[in-house]
């Protein structure tokens, strides 16, 4: 799962990555129509893990449209290889987005998003 929030508390649509080549409607049957305070985004990858194409599409189709016209923008995230791939960095540059990568082995110290955003996801029992 991937999600984010702005400094003013606006939540991004969480991305749930399923294992497989496609996202099938029946996989989401329990999620659709739920009473959640957020939209849901879906993707599939061969192992169910984050991949560069999935992350790129999320940035392009969810994050950037949610930003509006206000620039520049700062994004802070871990240094997972899918997050710092050249395609992602080029997309960020084209959209006046600055990427700040957390130092290795420190993300557990810097995760207020777990309380601010993920709590509602866990409470909704979307991830078990």
Say if residue 68 is exposed, middle or buried (CB neighbours under 10 Å; 0-12, 13-18, 19+): exposed
The distance of Cα 44 from the centroid of its chain, to the nearest Å, equals 14
Structure confidence by residue, pLDDT tens digits, 4-22: 777 677 777 888 888 888 7
Structure confidence by residue, pLDDT tens digits, 74-103: 888 877 777 788 999 999 999 999 988 877
Of residues 98, 104, 62, 109, the one with CA closest to residue 81? 104
For residues 3 and 30, what is the distance between their CA atoms, to the nearest angstrom? 20
Q: Which helix (H) or strand (E) is 57 found in, with range?
A: helix 52-58
């Amino acid at each position: 799962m991937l999600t984010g929030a702005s400094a003013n508390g606006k939540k991004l649509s969480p991305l749930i990555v399923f294992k497989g080549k496609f996202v099938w409607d029946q996989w989401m049957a329990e999620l659709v129509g739920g009473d959640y305070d957020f939209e849901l985004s879906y993707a599939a990858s061969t192992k169910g893990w984050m991949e560069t194409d999935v992350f790129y599409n999320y940035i392009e189709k969810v994050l950037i449209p949610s930003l509006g016209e206000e620039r520049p923008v700062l994004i802070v995230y871990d240094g997972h290889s899918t997050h710092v791939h050249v395609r992602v960095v080029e997309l960020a540059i084209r959209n006046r987005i600055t990427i700040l990568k957390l130092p290795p082995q420190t993300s557990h110290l810097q995760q207020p998003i777990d309380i601010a955003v993920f709590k509602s996801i866990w409470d909704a029992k979307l991830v078990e």
